[in-house]
Structure 1
Amino acid sequence: MIKVVIGFKRRQGMGIQEFRDYRRDVHAPILFAIPEAKNIRRFVVSYPAEVVPAEEPRFDAIVEAWFDNSDDMNTLFQSDNFATRVDPDHVNFIDLTTVVRLVTEELIVIE
């Protein structure tokens, strides 16, 4: 199993709730409408907990997407649909200079 973890901040001038709503109501439907998204086995979005932080969180969201293997992951991210429909929408809600992406293999310690 391969997991992609992506962290990012919202685009400048966008409020946190506007960012969350846009990601859920506009961007997610674009992503899951393309046929290559069927390769995603699990998809989770995490937001910083609303507690009094000691400092500003580095990211406004963390996305985790699981795939059976790297070929399935590459089929999604290298597809024409992703390049022409999904990726162009990122600029509408993400500060692209803040994006950090890590492709991982999970080692489950406790379940």
Structure 2
Amino acid sequence: MTLNDLYATILARKNADPNSSWTAQLLAKGPEKCAEKFGEEAVEAIIEAVKDDKSALTNEAADVLYHLLVMLAARDVPFTDVLDVLAQRQSKSGIAEKAGR
């Protein structure tokens, strides 16, 4: 499964019955709750990175990616827009790109 596939699945569940899926439940709680959940997962990933637990970090990284996509969907930000920004940045060095912001 690619991130594009995952995002499409999340979008498909955006208007689903909240009793039918975790994604639908999360989206039904609103963008603020989705952002809060993303933040929790990011902190958990940081903790596992500091602990150097590669297996746990791998699992938390998957959670971070999933919850990032849910948060984007909650705010109607197309994942392709994020990919476009990354593509634009790829043509510059990181230092030059940051200086241009």
Q: TM-score, normalised by structure 2?
A: 0.30
Structure (1 or 2) with the greater strand fraction: 1
Q: If you compute each CA radius of gyration, which structure gives the higher value, 1 or 2?
A: 2
Q: TM-score, normalised by structure 1?
A: 0.27
Structure (1 or 2) with the greater helix fraction: 2
